[in-house]
Chain A
Amino acid sequence: MADENKSDGSDVAPDKPAGTGAPEEDKYKTQPLSAVPADAAPKLPETKPEPPAKTEAETTEPPKPVAEKPVKPAASAGEAKPAAEAKTPGEKPAPKQAAEAKAAGDKPTPTPKPAAKAPPKKPPEVETIAIPDDPLVVALKGKFPDTVIDAFAILKQKVIRINRSAVLDVCRYLRDDSAQQYNFLTDVTALHHPKADKKFEVIYVLYSIPRNERVRLKVPLAEGESVQSITSLWSTANWLEREVYDMFGITFEGHPDLRRILLPEDWVGYPLRKEYPLEYEDNEWVAKHLDIRPLAEGADYTGKFE
């Protein structure tokens, strides 16, 4: 099989175009799948080169003169039809430039014409619904003004983004208030977005045992910023925050014992950050601690131990 670490689509089975595979090709299945027909892969639209440009051309066409020939997709693929294009009352008579001028020719501003391939298709997103009117969000906004950045629901799970300065107060309110009663801290973890403005995000998952409700708090942090520790509210945050520190390097102010938990104490680097390489062997650390010495020149491999 091809190199498994390459990131292209074919992971388990080699991609076969739907409908061409004979049943005996799938050797690893001993029984036919009960419900999956041969063409079960979702039908992605073929990459038409010009759909956006075409619509752009069409929408801006009305103000242009009528002599414009009707736009054809084949023509827009980049092959210029010199006669058709050159006739457009545009500014570019040269047939070479006609292709790129076709969409831009009659417009006041030249739009960038993509080359033969389509613009990259944006991947679909799970629907996130903004929930400004949720009672919890309203209560938080009332009690702690300027802390709630936004609140949304994704897959029926409430997510509230708050400022780093208010973490301790908000969590205390959520735990102690009789209308909220989020008395169980399920998880503390973090995310790293290297390209975002605020690179880190600490995630708190809280759960209310009496009310059977779960909420997720997200706290965006810039590089080097720290957040208050909530060990004073829940003892379970002790090890959870230590692990976040260990893996991401985010410090928690007021933590009683912030040191590495899973990695050795003298490890350098924070592995779950995106720039930390996956296959990184800390040879120095290993050599230091396991007393691995390089063999001398001309060392004897015949098995006599010194």
Chain B
Amino acid sequence: MSITEKDILKIAEARTRIEPMFDTQEMTLNMGPQHPSTHGVLRVVLKLDGETVIDLDCDIGYLHRGVEKIAENRTYPMIAPYHDRTDYIAAVSNGLCWVETVEKVMGLEVPKRAQYIRIILTELNRITSHLLWLGTHCIDLGAFTIFLYAFREREEILKIFENYFGARLTTHAFRIGGFWWDTYPGFEEQVKFFCDYFPEKIKEYEIILNENRIWLQRTVGIGLISPEDAVDIGLTGPPLRGSGVNYDIRKAMPYEAYEEMDFIVPLGKAGDTYDRFLVRMEEMKQSRNIVLQALDKLKETEGQPVIAKVPKVIKPPIGEVYHSIEGPKGELGIFLVSDGTNKPSRMRIRPPSFINLQALRQMCIGHLVADVVAIIGTLDIVLGEIDR
């Protein structure tokens, strides 16, 4: 049985049916900073009419650690671990953005072999982040099985990270100019092993979720946002592409060796939670393709250096640059102002989750409280990045 347009419309319509109200009054409910479904220390103050949300306000800042201020007092290599801890799930991607920004200001050219390794690790990190999104999104909506399945897949990638960087979560993956160490023996086999068994697992998730009646009722028509609204509110990443806007920095302003990689950017149609779910599932498959291509290219660059000629003390020239990458959550950008010393004058992180979270209000109004949980999940926010 396949899902037709009519089914989807019927479900969406059922969602918007309004029941007759009798003598009710508005209630303010606090989804406090401690909540199993708010993906961190996020406080959402809901104004409810019965169970329908009429207004919503987010109170953030519980995890504000002043990373931007600290960065003005640390040297360039010392700042890299701070980026792991902003978006702690996509630590490798964050590290990539930082080293690329510094390399851009310094005018360093990273050797090709290092670029391929970077792509492999970043795309593996994208798969990791999307798997965690899938697991937590499903468990918030009640599907416990997928949570454990997704984390089982993540284990394989985290083992690779642990073998290479020494850490699973906060990896401090990249160095300015490339890598200190080349890949360890067995790296390519491990990555290939993961890529070989991963498609069956994605198929498992799709079999469980894609045409599941409960899943459809909880995600179709929830959190609708039109393409114009999405661009206006500043969404990037899968939430934007779920509404049909084709903006992926890997294609628009390619960095590293993404121009050589052959992949498609999945786009959604309706802009609801179900479409964003499909977009992220497809992105996982595309990431796996990219990893396989990069592995082939890596074999050809056997024995080449993995680090550029980097001075011992990183002192970029006076200048400023805004550089952004396509992280798993959206467009992660860094605006770096350098004043010629070994510490930056200003480092601004453009956090995708912070800007995506702004859309929560307009996505949630009119929905039920339970849908707020689904929408927070579909925006895929990480509080470490929102609060920095």
A residues in contact (CB < 8 Å) with B: 4-5, 7, 9-13, 15, 29-31, 33-36, 40-42, 122-126, 128, 154-155, 157, 159, 183-187, 189, 191-192, 203, 205, 209, 212, 214, 216, 234-236, 238-240, 243, 247, 260-264, 271-272, 274, 276, 278
Contacts and interface: CB of A to CB of B under 8 A. Distances in A.
A239 B69 CA distance: 19
Given A125-B319, A216-B322, A240-B355, A184 B69 contact: no
A35 B180 contact: no
Given A186-B333, A278-B69, A126 B319 contact: yes
Contacts of B313: 9-11, 15, 41
Contacts, number: 159
Contacts of B73: 5, 278
A272 B181 CA distance: 36
B322 A205 contact: yes
B210 interface: no
Nearest to B318: A125
A239 B319 contact: no
27 contacts: A7-B341, A11-B75, A11-B342, A13-B312, A29-B180, A30-B181, A33-B180, A33-B305, A35-B307, A40-B309, A41-B311, A41-B313, A42-B311, A123-B318, A125-B319, A183-B231, A185-B234, A187-B333, A189-B335, A205-B333, A235-B232, A235-B358, A236-B234, A236-B355, A239-B354, A261-B61, A272-B69
* Top 6 A-B pairs, shortest CB-CB distance: A236-B234, A123-B340, A126-B319, A35-B305, A262-B61, A34-B305
B337 A235 contact: no
B323 to A, nearest CB: 9
Interface residues of B, number: 66
A36 to B, nearest CB: 6
Given A157-B322, A205-B322, A209-B231, A35 B340 contact: no
Nearest to A37: B309
Interface string B277-291: 000000000000000
Contact of B321 (A157, A187, A209, A274): A157
Interface centre among B233, B322, B350 (most CB of A within 10 A): B322
